[in-house]
Structure 1
Amino acid sequence: MSHNLNPPRRNFYGRSHGKTMRASQKEYLAEDLGPLTLKGVFTEENPERREISLDFAGGKPLWLEIGFGGGEHLVHMAARYPDVHIIGAEPFMNGVAMLLGKIRQAAVGNLSLYPRDVRELFEVLPPACLDKAFLNYPDPWPKARHHRRRFVTQDHLQPLARLMKPGAEFRVATDIPDYVRQTLEEVPPAGFELVKQAGLGAAWEDWFSTRYEQKALREGRDPHYLTFRKL
């Protein structure tokens, strides 16, 4: 099944590479990224945008983390829930390299990666395949003229909603009050209902505090935890 024979050319905001990587990180990318990368998602591999098989998940419930940063939360969840398969999507190769090091250390095997724009993944996953999705400390794009670049816009949320099963959980964590505002405004119209809105000290029971959250706390910004359910 093809959803879009001519996928639109997208603006990509930000950098795919940051500071220089350590030799070990370059080794992780060279040796480990290929086997963990989902097949048939890159436009070069699948220009017709055919729907990919979920065989890689081995029949397990499928979760998605959108922008996993350094991978702390992703590896924590994979280790805690071995009977789930988790996809991590992250376009910044420094974060991907950090994650690969953590995967080696934790020896988890129930992970797949997509090291580019998550919207390309949205195009080829089958509908209603996700049981849970995470958006942890996304880029805040603080300037008003850049708010359309945030993930919590209909251009991102509607394709995500198509992939989520009825009743599936969508979690958002952010330390930016205006991001909370936009999330509360934009997520429900995409087909979700707000289940819970919590603050500092009231995260999810299985939450793993990331380096981004620790930085926010050091700088005096309080985290917000939003839980939505797909209708």
Structure 2
Amino acid sequence: MQNDKHPSGAPWRNFYGRFRGKTIRASQKDYLDNDLDALSPGAVGWDVNPSRVKLDPAAICDGKPLWLEIGFGGGEHLLAMAERYPQVGLIGCEPFINGVAMLLGKIRRARVENLRVHPGDVRDLFDVLPEASIAKAFLNYPDPWPKSRHHRRRFVTQEHLAPLFRVLTPGAEFRVATDIPDYVRQTLQEVPKAGFALETPLPDGMAVPWGDWVSTRYEQKALREGRPPHYLTFRKPG
């Protein structure tokens, strides 16, 4: 039977995927034990009714505009964005604890101060972020769930896109990067249904990365294995 708690302490909410991989090293345990609480975007109300608890966006990163990365993997892109845009606050969500530990080590070494980490499902933040509080969102190389019967588990379903649309500010950009053609198909089908406008010119524009794009370990693996990246930009109407 599935455990009813994530390692962070969050309750189970029908999440598909792994929470933990290989054994956490002593240095990574140190990051989790000593750095994670201070980098949390706030108490997300695991033990209270989320309808009565809301995060204050202005308190998360000293009033800076907030960007959100959904599933940051090893954190390469998220950290690079924080270093490149110190005038912005970034929140990264990642349920895979090994990836969280990797990012915490990178944050400690880089000493960035505009980055917050939620070690869990992004839906936890959707529950407590107020409407129009996120200025940009990233979905980089999400789990492809390649089998047809598992496509409902992908992020690009209305279950996830509707609350994302709600928390984005008018005019906010939503970027998606993937190496899976069928994920592109579903993204192009579902994201506009949620109210977003596609800005990428098709089909050639999908091969052009953003000017500030930082290639991740997942993208490098895809390139080694002959799967070309696709880059899609959507926008919430202003």
Tell me whether 1:206 sits opposite 2:208 in the alignment: no
Is contact 1:132–1:164 with CA below 8 Å preserved after alignment? yes
State the distance in 1 between where 2:48 and 2:109 align: 31
- Correspondence 1:23 to 2:26: yes
Which residue identity lines up with residue 56 of structure 2 in the other structure? S
Question: What amino acid does structure 2 have at the position aligned with 1:105?
Answer: R
Q: Cα offset for 1:47? A: 4.9
Aligned length: 223
Amino acid in the other structure paired with 1:130: I
Query: Given the two structures, how large is their TM-score scaled by the length of structure 2?
Result: 0.90
> Structure 1 segments of 4 or more deviating over 2 A?
44-49, 197-200
Which digits, 9 at most, give the CA deviation of each residue in 1:10-45, with x for residues without a partner? 311111101112211111111111110122214226
Give the whole-Å Cα distance in 2 for the aligned partners of 1:228 and 1:99. Answer: 27
1:106 paired residue among 104, 110, 115:
110
1:52 aligned residue: 55
Secondary structure of 1:187's counterpart equals helix
Q: Distance in 1 between matches of 2:41 and 2:231?
A: 29
- CA offset digits 1:132-163 (Å, max 9, x no partner): 00000000000000000000000000000000
Q: How does 1:1-231 map to 2 (within 5 A)?
A: 10-44=13-47, 47-54=50-57, 55-197=59-201, 198-200=205-207, 202-231=208-237
- CA shift in 2, pair 1:97/1:158, >3 Å: same
- Identity rate, percent: 69
Q: Distance in 1 between matches of 2:13 and 2:33?
A: 27
Write the distance in 2 (CA, Å) between the matches of 1:24 and 1:40.
Answer: 25
Give the conservation status (yes or no) of the 8 Å contact 1:119–1:156. yes
Q: TM-score, normalised by structure 1?
A: 0.93
Structure 2, unpaired ranges of 5+: 1-10
SS at structure 1 position matched to 2:23: coil
Structure 1's unaligned 5+ residue stretches are 1-7
**Superposition RMSD in Å:** 1.5
Whether the 8 Å CA contact 2:31–2:105 is kept in 1: the answer is yes
